[in-house]
Structure 1
Amino acid sequence: MSTSSLSPLIDENVQTLAQLAQLLGRVSAHDYQRPLGAKGTQSLGKHIRHILEHYQTLLDACATAPTQAVLDYEERLREAALETRPGYAGERVEALQAELEALADRPHDAALTLSYPVEVDGADDSVALPTSLGRELAFLTSHSIHHMALLGLLCEQLGIALPEHFGVHPSTLRYWELQHSGS
């Protein structure tokens, strides 16, 4: 059974952001911006900024051009405060959740265009790819969960406890639930 409603996709994204909010409530500013990884190029804040700016890109495109919006995930602000101030990032999470919920009356197949950067003959160019609001919301869930899995590894290094299913895709959680209910 399939649905044309955006509600399930919005719910998945709101729940994913809620997990990020839980992390933001547990991490100190020092640990949030602390350089991690073999080369010291990773941080919790950098991953969270990256996730939040992807959401903001989609929401800004929808607000700017409700019909046939164009979005480019590479043209993000890369706002330093999001990667250095966990409280500020937490406020942004709440705002993003509200903005996502406000999309509920739109059709899942609302047309969007993704501008995807490529190199052609040594020069920067882009390809315009047709997509939809529903497809981009599905992408954001998977993209966020991917980065949250990395965040989980970084938190493990820092000794930060996370919720049991942090960084697990909602479809995996549904699968696990089916496995447990069928046994």
Structure 2
Amino acid sequence: MSEQQDTSCLGSLIEENRLALYQLQAFLERLTPDLYRYAFGPTGRQSLGKHVRHILDHYDALLAGAVAGSIDYENRQRDERLETEPELAVVRVAEISAALPGLEAQRSATLRLRYPVEGASDSLALATSLPRELAFLTSHTVHHMALLGMMAESLGVDLPEHFGVHPSTLRHWQRQTEEISQERRETA
């Protein structure tokens, strides 16, 4: 893919992320604080809130890194209030969603991704691009939303339609539906 094609998809990638965040916000609005903080697993280290905070940390790292020219997902803010206060998480999701279109101004920025390697004296500085990082965040977010969905369902929480389903899967399902419809029209 050429550099021009690479950045031409930026708006679509931003919108994919905003859609995931919209779904996350709708999910959060259904949760009580007790459900949000509920401790899962034998050690109690997992909660809906911890996964949400993790997702939001990654967006914060991208937004800060896009301006600075260096993205570091390893050294995140980790605001623990986002793990325990669902109403604060809802506000932060809305803020991030509103900030994402501003990345258009960084369309041609040269970006580096800081990535620590065990045993190395310093982190690697990998060349990356805004579209690549937005594609990563879509997958990362939807992956954690799928985990959130499984956890929430075990607590009896109803999920928004297609919650935790990657856009590529939704496109696949759409193509399958269209193919079935076409086959039915041809055999009718």
RMSD, aligned α-carbons? 1.6
Q: 1:1-183 maps to which residues of 2 (within 5 A)?
A: 4-63=8-67, 65=68, 69-107=69-107, 110-120=109-119, 125-183=122-180
Please tell me whether Structure 1 or Structure 2 has the larger radius of gyration of its CA atoms.
Answer: 2
- Shift of residue 55, structure 1, vs aligned partner: 0.2
CA shift, 1:163, in A, is: 1.1
- The amino acid across from 1:77 in the alignment is Q
The alignment partner of 1:61 has SS state of helix
Q: Name the structure with the higher strand share.
A: 1
The C-alpha deviation readout for 1:154-177, integer Å capped at 9, x for no partner, is 001111110121000011101100
Alignment length (residue pairs): 176
124-133 or 91-100, which moves further after superposition? 124-133
Q: What are the ranges of 5 or more consecutive residues in structure 2 without an aligned counterpart?
A: 181-188
Q: Normalized against structure 1, the TM-score is what?
A: 0.91
What are the superposed Cα offsets for residues 24-69 of structure 1, whole Å, 9 maximum, x if unpaired? 1000111101111232110000000000010000001123x2xxx1
SS at match of 1:125: coil
1:139 Cα deviation after fit: 0.3
Residues 45 and 83, structure 1, Cα contact 8 Å, conserved in 2: yes
Q: Deviations over 1:54-101 (max 9, x none)?
A: 0000001123x2xxx111101111101111001100000111011101
Gaps of 5+ in 1: none
Supply the AA of the counterpart residue of 2:21: L
Query: d(CA) in 1 for partners of 2:106 and 2:176?
Result: 34
Cα displacement (A) at 1:111: 2.2
Q: Percent identity?
A: 53
